[in-house]
Amino acid sequence: MGKMIARILEQEEAIRRVLCSDRKTASLNLTWQDKDVLQSMNQVLSKLSELTDILSGENYVTISYVLPMIELLNNTLLKQCDDDTDLVKSMNKTVKDDINSRYTDKKSLHCYGFHLYWTLDLNQNILRRFH
């Protein structure tokens, strides 16, 4: 979904030209409100896209990534910024709340062999991909 939104934003001018070429489809052009919503969605979803790719890997044990990913989302990727729009702030909060509600007992996750040192090390490796 995020890649599709990014592509629509990238190709917005070409889409507008095609839609404007026919009176029947001219009303389907994106409004400035539509563009604002798509840009906000793209801002949030693009952060989650690479994490989704990492977690969907087949050649390694992905359960070991759960706690580091939660920490990365909470402390870095979905952290509120002053220049975020209200919609981005709301979407970030919704995603964070949903993820945190699924993993409320983080102490039990640590019992499965997750260690703070390893978590911080993995976070640093993943963070490098985002900068």
pLDDT at 116 over 60: no
pLDDT in tens, 53-96: 777 765 665 666 677 778 888 888 888 888 999 999 999 999 99
Q: Is the pLDDT of residue 38 over 60?
A: yes
Helical ranges in 1-131 per DSSP H: 2-10, 12-20, 32-55, 66-72, 86-102, 106-111, 116-130
pLDDT at site 117: 44
Q: What is the pLDDT of residue 90?
A: 94
pLDDT value, residue 39: 94
Cα torsion through 58, 59, 60, 61, rounded to 10: 40
| The pLDDT value given to residue 127 | 56
- Higher-pLDDT residue of 66, 39: 39
